[in-house]
Amino acid sequence: MMEKNERYIAAAAGYSEDGAGVTRINGIVIFVPGLLNGEEAEIGITKMKKNYGYGRIIKILKPSLHRIDPICSVYKQCGGCQLQHMDSNEQNTFKENKVKDCFHKIAGMDVEIQPIIKVEPHWNYRNKVQIPVQCNDNKVEMGFYAPHSNRIVQYNVCHVQTDLSNELTNYFCKQFDMLACGKDVRHVLIKHAHNTGEVMVALVVRKYPFHNSDILIKDVLVNYPQIKSLVAIVNKREDNVILDGKEILLAGRHYIEEELLGCTFRISARSFYQINPYATKELYSKAIELAGLTGNETLIDLYCGTGTMGIIAAKQAKQVYGIEIVADAIRDANTNAENNNVTNIKFINADASEGAKQIIDAKIQADAMIIDPPRKGCSKDTIDAIVTIAPKKLVYVSCDPATLARDVKILSDNGYKLELVQPVDLFPQTVHVETVALLSKLDVDKHIDVEIKLDELDLTSAESKATYAQIKQYILEKFDLKVSTLYIAQIKKKCGIALREHYNKSKKEKQVIPQCTPEKEEAIMDALRHFKMI
C-alpha cells in the first residue's frame, strides 16, 4: 500500500472530469492535478484511499507539447481557472471527451460529439465578477476563495475578467481600506456589458448606510462615469446566499443594458445573463438554428430567464411562450420584449414543471422547445410534462454534461431520439463546458415497443434495487469512505434514479443542504454501476 509523501514515476493516460491527470501506480489510480495526458513525471502521494489516491507533481520528466506556462501569478493558489497550463487544442480535446464520457458512463450511450465551438477571445471575456470581501487585522482583502476553503486569494489582475472590472476591484479594495468600511461590505458584484460599455456595481452590505458610504458613492461615480447602475443589497443572512435582501438604488438605474444578436436586454443585479458575450452569440445562434424555425412554429422557451433566447428566436417563430420561476426575471423579460418591439411572445411566471403543465392545460401545440435548465438539470415532473407536450424538436442547452446525459437518457426512453451533441466553449481556461443537444420526436407509427423481461437481462431485482445500507457498505469496503444517505440520494437523483419523496428535502425553508464532494460522488457512481443501477 502506498503511503503519503512517497515518490513514484508515473505517466498520465487521460483526465478526470476536473482536469487532473489520471495515472496508475501498482494498479492503483492516482489523480494528479496539473499533469497532462501523456506526460511522465515524478509525483508525490498526497492522500490515499482504499483503491485510489491523489498526488502532486514534483518534477515533469517528459512534458507534453500541449503544456504552456500559465499567465496568472496566482494560478495554482486561486483555483478559479483550472486549465491555463493546457494549450487551446488540449482544452478542446479535454472538453469534448468530458461530454462524450458523461454520455457513455451516465446514459450508456456512445454518441458522436461535434467539434467544440471555440470563440475568440479566450481571455478577458467575462462580463461578471463577484468578489468576496474580508477584513483581517483591519486590512481589507478582496479576491477569490482558494479551492475547498474560505481563505481569500488576492490578485491584481484576473485575466478572464475585463480590464475595467480588474481596475474597479483594486479601486474598491483601496477605498474600503482608506474609508475603514470594509467590515460592512460582504461582496462586490460587477457586471460589465461588453457591447454597450455600461457597468453595474452592486455592494452586498451588512447594513445601509454603512461607514463613510456617502463619501464612497460620490468618489466612485466621479472616477468611473461608465457606472450606470450603483446599488446596495442589504444581506443579513448568515449562510452563503449572497444576492438576498433589500436592494437600494444609490445612483443611476436598477439595471444596465446590453446588446445581443440585434436585440437589447436589461441586466439587473439578480438576473441571469451568460457570462461570455462572445461565445453566447454562437451558443444561442446554434440553439435557435437547431430548433428549425421557419416562421410558422410555436416555440416553448423553458427556463427563459429574462427572455433573451426567446425574444431573439421570436423573429423566426409564429408564437413563443417563455416560462421562468423568478418574478424579477419575468418582469425584465416583459420589458425586454416591449423594448425590442416583439409582440409574439408571452411569459409565464412559474417553475418549469408548473409552467409546462399550463401549456398542456391550454392545449397549446408546441412544434419546438428550447430548454436551458440550471446545473441540476430537469426534475422528473418537468421531463414528464415535456414528454406530454411532445414538441417535434427539443433543444437542450446545458452547463453540466452529467445532468444533460442523465436527462437525455430519460427522454430517449420516452419517445425521443438524440440527433446531435454540440459543445460550446463558454468558459475558456476552466474545466466547464456548455453543450447543446438536439432531440427529435420519434414517429410512433414507425416504431414498436419491445417488452424485455427482467430475467432476460443480466440484472436481478436485488441488483437493480440495492439498499442505501448496501451502497454504504460497498463504498466503505472498497474506498474506505463513509457516505451519507443524503449524498447517495443526490447522486441517484443526478443519474435519474427515482427517489422516495422525503429524500434530499429540507424540513426548514432556509436550511443549507450540504452537497456531495467530487471524491464521494465518484465512489457512489462506482457503487451504482456495481449494483447495475446505472
Task: Check residue 444 and give its pLDDT.
Answer: 54
Give me the catalytic one of 81, 378, 399, 516. 399
Residue 445 has pLDDT above 60, yes or no: no
Cell output for 67: 503544456
What ranges in 345-502 are assigned the alpha helix state H?
Answer: 352-361, 380-389, 401-412, 461-464, 468-479, 485-494
- Compute the distance between CA of residue 393 and CA of residue 420 in angstroms, rounded to an integer: 12
Task: Check residue 480 and give its pLDDT.
Answer: 76
Q: Could you tell me if 368 and 393 are in contact, meaning their C-beta atoms sit under 8 angstroms apart?
A: yes
Residue 312 has pLDDT above 70, yes or no: yes
Q: Is the dihedral of CA 463, 468, 471, 477 positive or negative?
A: negative
Q: What is the dihedral of CA 373, 230, 261, 115, to 10 degrees?
A: -50
Cite the annotated binding site by residue number: 274, 303, 324, 372
Q: Classify strands 128-136 and 139-145 as parallel, antiparallel or unpaired.
A: antiparallel
Residue 453 has pLDDT above 60, yes or no: no
Residue 455 has pLDDT above 50, yes or no: no
> What radius of gyration do the chain's Cα atoms show?
25
Q: Could you tell me if 356 and 380 are in contact, meaning their C-beta atoms sit under 8 angstroms apart?
A: no
Using one digit for the tens of pLDDT, what is the confidence trace for 164-201? 999 999 999 999 999 999 999 999 999 999 999 999 99
First-to-last alpha carbon distance for the chain, in angstroms, is 31
* Average pLDDT estimate for 383-391: 97
pTM: predicted TM-score of the whole model, two decimal places: 0.83
- Compute the distance between CA of residue 190 and CA of residue 160 in angstroms, rounded to an integer: 14
- Compute the distance between CA of residue 515 and CA of residue 208 in angstroms, rounded to an integer: 33
> What are the structural domain ranges in the chain?
6-67, 128-260, 277-441, 468-531
Question: In the structure, what pLDDT confidence band is assigned to residue 450 with cuts at 50, 70 and 90?
Answer: low
Cite the annotated binding site for S-adenosyl-L-methionine by residue number: 274, 303, 324, 372
Task: Check residue 250 and give its pLDDT.
Answer: 98
| CA-to-CA separations, 289 to 305, 386, 393, 405, in angstroms, rounded | 20, 20, 11, 21
Q: Could you tell me if 224 and 251 are in contact, meaning their C-beta atoms sit under 8 angstroms apart?
A: no
Cell output for 303: 427556463
In degrees and rounded to multiples of 5, residue 480 shows phi and psi of 60, 40
* Average pLDDT estimate for 7-22: 97
Residue 110 has pLDDT above 70, yes or no: yes
Q: Could you tell me if 12 and 23 are in contact, meaning their C-beta atoms sit under 8 angstroms apart?
A: yes
- Give 277-441's CATH code, choosing from 3.40.50.720, 3.40.50.150, 3.30.450.20, 3.40.50.2300: 3.40.50.150
- Mean pLDDT rounded to a whole number for the chain: 91
Task: Check residue 446 and give its pLDDT.
Answer: 54
Closest by CA to 368, choosing from 446, 426, 309, 413, is 309
Closest by CA to 161, choosing from 131, 135, 185, 133, is 131
Using one digit for the tens of pLDDT, what is the confidence trace for 330-374? 999 999 999 999 999 999 999 999 999 999 999 999 999 999 999
Task: Check residue 114 and give its pLDDT.
Answer: 98
* Average pLDDT estimate for 432-458: 69
Q: Under CATH, what is the fold of the domain 6-67?
A: OB fold (Dihydrolipoamide Acetyltransferase, E2P) (2.40.50)
Active site residue 399: yes
Residue 452 has pLDDT above 60, yes or no: no
User: What residues does 203 pair with on adjacent strands?
Assistant: 188, 232
Q: For the sheet with 139-145, list strands across it.
A: 152-154, 139-145, 128-136, 185-192, 199-205, 227-234, 246-252
Could you give the angle at which helices 352-361 and 380-389 cross, rounded to 10 degrees? 30
Q: Could you tell me if 96 and 32 are in contact, meaning their C-beta atoms sit under 8 angstroms apart?
A: no
Residue 64 has pLDDT above 50, yes or no: yes
CATH 2.40.50.430 fits domain 128-260: no
Task: Check residue 240 and give its pLDDT.
Answer: 87
Using one digit for the tens of pLDDT, what is the confidence trace for 477-520? 777 788 888 888 888 888 877 665 444 444 444 455 678 887 88
Using one digit for the tens of pLDDT, what is the confidence trace for 212-237? 999 999 999 999 999 999 999 999 99
6-67 shares its CATH topology with 277-441? no
Q: Is the dihedral of CA 417, 369, 446, 412 positive or negative?
A: positive
Using one digit for the tens of pLDDT, what is the confidence trace for 139-156? 999 999 998 888 999 999
Residue 10 has pLDDT above 60, yes or no: yes
Q: Could you tell me if 394 and 440 are in contact, meaning their C-beta atoms sit under 8 angstroms apart?
A: yes
Task: Check residue 447 and give its pLDDT.
Answer: 52
Using one digit for the tens of pLDDT, what is the confidence trace for 266-286? 999 998 899 999 999 999 999
* DSSP 8-class letter at 215: H
Residue 460 has pLDDT above 80, yes or no: no
